[in-house]
């Protein structure tokens, strides 16, 4: 892990840890969830499509239309509105903890769609531990509230979309310029979400804080984040890059406590620890080789 890779990792940990804070700000200010999702996507597309055009990378997408449409629906159009809707019922930190189930869901999907995958040993233990974390979160903190259960259910649907998106990239969109892929996908998603947002538009101009939150979501948490993630993959490799998934909910929880005065309960804390441990185990529990070498050297092995 070079200094450049660590810098990209730190950047991604922040960029993908802060969206839940800004979504919460927007929806708490009365902006409809579907409109938050649509505005975020439109802003990001307005940035990435011109960048891809100037780089001359858009022609590389020829013949990938159906994969782009599938990815735009599964990775963007499906998850973004439910996350915003979920945050009208639960805290931003709870949302981030529920989203942390993505690696667990991806591990389950891999059993069906990735040849050679097996569910045994450490991977099986990881899945059981991770879903035990979900049970702790739901059973201890939110089981008494139908509204919160509805919010958690919506967020888990979004997590499933994110998990499917990774498989779509691997099967039909690998090897392409990330600006072109994401710019085109965001543009398609904007079209898909337009009629949804039109069904429930804001009844008045949102407050300045909500507008600022939506701008950050679109320009920073979506457009800039995709570019930063591409840099992380180039600098650290695809396997090491997935470790950022384990840091994001910690960042989101800290921000929720510090800035929104959220107070996660015992179920949230226990659930977060179990979900992160289960995600690590279910993805084979491997540390980056450089970290493993340093640990071995430190222990004298």
Per-residue 3-state assignment (H helix, E strand, C coil) for the chain: CCHHHHHHHHHHHHHCCCHHHHHHHHHHCCCCHHHHHHHHHHHHHHHHHHHHHHHCCHHHHCCCHHHHHHHHHHHHHCCHHHHHHHCCCCCHHHHHHHHCCHHHHHHHHHHHHCCCCCCCHHHHHHHHHHHHHHHHHHHHHHCCCHHHHHHHHHHHHHHHHHHHHHHHHHHHCCCCCHHHHHHHHHHHHHHHHHHHHHHCCCCCCCCHHHHHHHHHHHHHHHHHHHHHHHHHHHHHCHHHHHHHHHCHHHHHHHHHHHHCCCCCCHHHHHHHHHHHHHHHHHCCCCCCHHHHHHHHHHCCC
**To 10 degrees, what angle do helices 102-113 and 121-136 make?**
140
Question: pLDDT tens for residues 80-139?
Answer: 999 999 999 998 988 888 887 877 787 777 666 655 555 566 767 777 777 787 777 666
Q: pLDDT category, 49, cuts 50, 70, 90?
A: very high
**Contact (CB, 8 A) for 43 and 214:** yes
Query: Which residues contact residue 132 at a Cβ distance below 8 angstroms, ignoring those fewer than 6 apart?
Result: 274, 278
- The CA angle 4-6-10, to the nearest 5 degrees, is 120
Rounded Cα–Cα distance for residues 235 and 8 (Å): 8
What predicted TM-score, i.e. pTM, was given to this entire model?
0.82
Least confident of 26-30, 151-155, 164-168: 164-168
| Nearest CA-CA partner of 113 in 161, 74, 157, 170 | 170
More confident residue, 5 or 89: 89
Domain ranges for the chain, please list them.
Answer: 3-298
Asked if 176 and 230 count as a contact pair (C-beta separation under 8 A), the reply is no
Would you say 175 and 61 are in contact if contact means Cβ atoms under 8 Å apart? Answer: no
Give the Cα separation of 191 and 136 in Å (integer).
38
Q: How confident is the model at residue 165 (pLDDT cuts 50, 70, 90)?
A: confident
Tokens (6 digits) for 112: 């069906």
pLDDT of 294 > 50? The answer is no
């Amino acid at each position: 892990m070079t200094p450049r890779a660590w810098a990209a990792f730190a950047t991604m940990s922040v960029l993908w840890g802060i969206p839940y804070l800004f979504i919460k700000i927007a929806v708490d200010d009365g902006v409809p969830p579907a409109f938050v999702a649509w505005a975020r996507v439109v802003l990001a597309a307005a940035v990435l499509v011109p960048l891809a055009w100037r780089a001359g990378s858009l022609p590389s997408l020829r013949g990938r239309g159906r994969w782009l449409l599938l990815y735009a629906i599964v990775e963007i159009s499906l998850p973004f509105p439910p996350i915003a809707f979920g945050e009208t019922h639960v805290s931003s930190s709870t949302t981030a903890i529920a989203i942390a189930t993505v690696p667990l869901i991806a591990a389950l999907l891999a059993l069906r769609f990735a040849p050679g995958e097996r569910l045994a040993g450490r991977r099986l233990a990881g899945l059981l531990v991770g879903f035990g974390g979900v049970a702790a979160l739901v059973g201890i903190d939110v089981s008494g509230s139908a509204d919160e259960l509805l919010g958690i259910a919506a967020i888990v649907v979004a997590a499933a979309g994110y998990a499917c998106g990774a498989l779509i990239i691997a099967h039909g969109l690998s090897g392409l310029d990330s600006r072109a892929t994401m710019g085109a996908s965001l543009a398609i998603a904007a079209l898909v979400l337009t009629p949804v947002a039109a069904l429930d538009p804001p009844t008045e101009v949102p407050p300045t804080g909500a507008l600022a939150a939506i701008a950050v979501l679109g320009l920073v948490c979506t457009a800039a984040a995709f570019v930063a993630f591409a840099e992380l993959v180039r600098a650290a490799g695809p396997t090491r890059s997935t470790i950022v998934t384990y840091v994001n909910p910690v960042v989101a929880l800290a921000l929720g406590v510090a800035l929104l005065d959220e107070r996660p309960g015992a179920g949230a804390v226990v659930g977060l620890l179990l979900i992160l441990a289960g995600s690590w185990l279910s993805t084979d529990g491997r540390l980056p080789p450089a970290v493993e070498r340093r640990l071995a050297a430190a222990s004298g092995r």
